[in-house]
Structure 1
Amino acid sequence: MQNTRLNKLFDAIAATVGQWFINPWRRLSLLVISWLFGFFLGSAVSTTAGQEATLDIVIAAVLVVMTEVTSRIFYSRSFMARQALWVETLNFLKVGFIYSLFLEAFKLGS
């Protein structure tokens, strides 16, 4: 790609954000926010899919595929690449999502 002003601006923004998340507390807070957002998504998807009750199997298959793709991305990389912020954030989102679905299943089962 050409080295335009827009590319330079995006590179500078990415470098600044990367430097900002080097702080362990900021990184941890981003991961906790990602986990909580995954928990929210799990609750929202289960209640929305439960309302329709027509595409339950299709939605379940799509969710399983998404979680498996996320697991493949996270666990197929080396240890250093696994520490990349976007990969770790995606994994925490997946964990919160799965935890929320398990919790919803336990609520429905009781």
Structure 2
Amino acid sequence: MFLNINILSLMLGFFFANIVSTMPAQTGDWNIISGSIIVTINEIISKYIYRYRTKEKIKNKYLLFNFFNNIKIGIIYGLFVDAFKLGS
């Protein structure tokens, strides 16, 4: 069951990255700005998750943290795939 949730959250993050990076990019002006906003939000979420995770080891919140972490990994992976598509 946990493997299915992890794969689903990775694909959800990849889907979010495709949506967020292509919608403002229709004009061609917002590619760098939208990418930097996504990475900044991603790093802020990482800061709060890992600060809370190191202070308190709560087992019932682990699934939620893992879900958000996999979404973040999917978003970063989606941005890398979009960058490789643009580079080729």
Deviations 1:78-104, CA, capped at 9 Å, x for gaps:
273486111110010000000010011
Q: Kindly, what percent of the aligned residue pairs are identical?
A: 34
Gaps of 5+ in 1: 1-25
Higher relative contact order (CA 8 A, sep 6+): 2
Deviation at 1:57, TM superposition (A): 4.4
Deviation at 1:63, TM superposition (A): 1.0
2:37 to 62, 73, 83: 62
**Which amino acid letter does the alignment assign opposite residue 98 of structure 1?**
I
For these two proteins, the number of residue pairs brought into alignment is 85
RMSD of equivalent CA atoms: 2.1
What is aligned with 1:109? 87
- Which is greater in Rg? 1
- Would the aligned equivalents of 1:36 and 1:96 in 2 still touch at CA under 8 Å? yes
Q: Determine whether 1:89 maps to 2:67.
A: yes
TM-score, with length taken from structure 1: 0.65
Gaps of 5+ in 2: none
TM-score, with length taken from structure 2: 0.79
Which deviates further from its counterpart, 58-67 or 39-48?
58-67
